[in-house]
Amino acid sequence: MGPFHTVLLSLLALRSWRFCLADDNGSSLASLMVNKDTTGLYYVNASVGTPEQFQMLRLDVAQPYTWFLSQQLKNSRLADDETDTQASTFYSSDNSSTAHPLFGSQIRSYDLIDRISFNATAYMDTVQLLAMNSLPASSSETSSNSSVAWRSNSSSLWFQNYAFFDATEVTYNLTQGALGLGGKINHPGSPLDSSQYNESFFFLDQMLNNDLISAASYSLWLGADTADPLGSLTDSLNNCGKIILGGVDRSLYTGDFVKFDTVPYLEKDSGASSRGYPIIPLNKVSVRSESGQVLNMTSDHFLEPVLLDSRYRYNYLPLSLIVQIAMQSNAYYVESLDRWLLACDVASLNASILFQFGNLIINVPLRDLMGPTYDFATNGSLHFSNSQPACELRLLPKTDIGLSILGGPFLKNVYMAAELDSYQIALAQASTLLRTTTSTTTVKSSTSSHATSSAQSANGSGQSPFEHRAALSTDNPSAIKSGTIPFATTNNYSSYDTLVLYASTAQPVDDNTLINQFTATISSDGVIFTGRSFYNTSYTTVPSLSTSGGPKHRNNAAKKQILNVQIPTPIQTYTTLIPLITIAIFALLA
């Protein structure tokens, strides 16, 4: 049985389990299916217009808007490069009888917090989002004037008047638009400023104003993403997670579910402050070996605001922290690639990086923070001289982008809930799907016994998990209400009221003193040399910080290596490294 069948089986198991567990009062919450494409990022299936045009929309927790790639973009791309468009879908307003241009078809520039930008016009049209279960019967389109309805023939949520941006130019040749789940942006004078848009522009507000959820809120679980991070780039997965609209499912996490107030983001020019971004303070990072040995990578004074961003496959952190992790995993900085490379075998050490947010510790396997390398010359990975394949560390200095970001590899390991109006985020360690040799699927959590004991219909046909809408707002203990994320406990940070994240411009790494010790150079015959030694790990400089409100970090060089990684071996590689650079940069986000 191939991996595809295994995925299908696990989906069936997941589905029967969710109807069984959703909550004990027989009501449930609508959720959207999340898929992963060949770029390693997550998307939801949607369609737009009349007749329907199929769309893949990138899951985007870092901004509130929905946007599509325009048909015009497809035309310009086809002229250049046909292969680029495989994972892409495009919107043609000309071909939709229900499309209405807004703001006089004016083209405006949208520059998002995470360096993604696009030029676009605003449109309103019908939109359908593929959902996993139905809405209350009373919201069916035949029985009310609701502008949002459940369509059972396509198993989707249907929106009559959905406003979005149609992008004719994008940065980084992005392959998909986005379904934005972020909070409102306060940036007067900018096309991003949310006050100029009505509810039609905000997916969660439309759900809220049609009484389908009790607060502009969602929770996100990607725990069914079982793809090997070191596997082939062509692996894609359907239904590897879900977005629960307006609610929390306790079975999707283990341990404490801890809530945080978001850290305000301050615009550089106007000083305008937004709390709608999922930015929370990270106060400690450590490495844990399989045997349970733990080593601090940060000092006691470390406090770093990090943006959670599902559009990134990479993570951006202070350079001093990356150096500490590189030292533990024996990674080399290869300047010509601007990447840290390490032996792929390190992934098998079963080490983890522990990200600590006050009293909450999130365990991320080191393997999830690694990725394969590719060399066009050999149609394979780069290799060390002892023929070990080389992998890359998916950690990059925050100076590359102007702020710290935890991307997809981190989000896959957490269960995250957001209540946008009260600026709260709650996180817990995600329950993950474990696939056994018999192809059955269980959820690794305290409630996993429910997963396999379901005798209920696996297809859910004809079932409406909701008896009536009121179940959502009043009776359902799992519903997120304004100001309250159910089951979430408060964090034990004393206070970070004064912590803010200042917008800053990206700049190349300028701290050569720090990085030189870890830098490898490529000789003319293609061998990478490194002068690094673990017996001389002291250094004195640290990069400057772009954030304030917390004490500056102190350098905390690790004195020992707890992971049993071999002493450096020169990297044997090939002279054709340039194509790898191109691929790597393209792959940062898509």
Ligand X SMILES: *[C@@H]1O[C@H](CO)[C@@H](O)[C@H](O)[C@H]1NC(C)=O
Which stretches does DSSP call E strand in 90-234? 100-101, 108-111, 117-130, 148-151, 156-170, 177-180, 217-221
* Prior bond of 281 cis (ω within 30°): no
SS (H, E, C) 367-397: HHHEEECCECCCCECCECCCCCEEEEECEEE
Of 95 and 541, CB closest to ligand X: 95
Which residue, among 142, 165, 133, 140, has the nearest Cα to 48 in the 3D structure?
A: 165
Between CA 507 and CA 509, with CA 508 as vertex, the angle to 5 degrees is 120
Of 31 and 262, CB closest to ligand X: 31
Of 385 and 459, CB closest to ligand X: 459
Closest distance between ligand X and the C-beta of residue 400, in Å? 15
Closest distance between ligand X and the C-beta of residue 264, in Å? 25
Q: How far apart are CA 325 and CA 334, in angstroms?
A: 15
Q: What strand order describes the sheet that includes 395-397? A: 279-282, 304-308, 404-406, 315-317, 395-397
Closest distance between ligand X and the C-beta of residue 516, in Å? 25
Phi and psi for 66 in degrees, rounded to 5? -100, 135
Closest distance between ligand X and the C-beta of residue 200, in Å? 4
H-helix or E-strand spanning residue 467: none
Is residue 409 within 8 A of residue 229, CB to CB? The reply is yes
Closest distance between ligand X and the C-beta of residue 487, in Å? 12
Which residue, among 33, 580, 35, 587, has the nearest Cα to 313 in the 3D structure?
A: 587
Of 199 and 256, CB closest to ligand X: 199
Of 92 and 439, CB closest to ligand X: 92
Closest distance between ligand X and the C-beta of residue 118, in Å? 5
Residues near ligand X (CB under 6 A) are: 23-25, 33, 35, 45, 71, 80-81, 84, 92, 95, 102, 109, 117-119, 124, 130, 144-145, 151, 153-154, 161, 169-173, 198-200, 238, 284, 290, 296, 300, 348-350, 379, 457, 459, 461, 475, 477, 586
Which stretches does DSSP call E strand in 24-116? 31-36, 42-48, 53-60, 67-69, 100-101, 108-111
Q: In the chain, what is the greatest distance between 2 CA atoms, to the nearest angstrom?
A: 74
Closest distance between ligand X and the C-beta of residue 306, in Å? 17
With H, G, I as helix, E, B as strand and everything else as coil, classify residue 452: helix
Of 520 and 580, CB closest to ligand X: 580
SS (H, E, C) 511-553: CHHHHHCCEEEECCCCEEEECCCCCCCCCCCCCCCCCECCCCC
Of 180 and 264, CB closest to ligand X: 180
Closest distance between ligand X and the C-beta of residue 540, in Å? 18
Q: How far apart are CA 352 and CA 431, in angstroms?
A: 16
Q: How far apart are CA 87 and CA 104, in angstroms?
A: 31
Closest distance between ligand X and the C-beta of residue 457, in Å? 4
Catalytic residue among 309, 368, 375, 400: 309
Closest distance between ligand X and the C-beta of residue 385, in Å? 22
Find residue 389's DSSP bridge partners.
Answer: 383
Of 124 and 485, CB closest to ligand X: 124
Catalytic residue among 23, 37, 60, 368: 60
Of 169 and 235, CB closest to ligand X: 169
Is residue 70 within 8 A of residue 174, CB to CB? The reply is no
Could you confirm whether 60 is annotated as catalytic? yes
β-strands 265-266, 501-502: how paired? Answer: parallel
Q: How far apart are CA 176 and CA 406, in angstroms?
A: 20
Of 256 and 527, CB closest to ligand X: 256
Which residue, among 364, 302, 335, 224, has the nearest Cα to 542 in the 3D structure?
A: 302
Is residue 34 within 8 A of residue 43, CB to CB? The reply is yes
With H, G, I as helix, E, B as strand and everything else as coil, classify residue 157: strand
| CA-derived radius of gyration, the chain | 24
H-helix or E-strand spanning residue 244: strand 237-245
Query: Encoding tokens for residue 465?
Result: 């998990």
Query: Encoding tokens for residue 281?
Result: 């303070």
Closest distance between ligand X and the C-beta of residue 316, in Å? 18
Of 24 and 269, CB closest to ligand X: 24
Is residue 360 within 8 A of residue 415, CB to CB? The reply is no
Cα dihedral 339/345/346/350 (nearest 10): 140
H-helix or E-strand spanning residue 10: helix 3-21
Enzyme catalytic residues: 60, 309
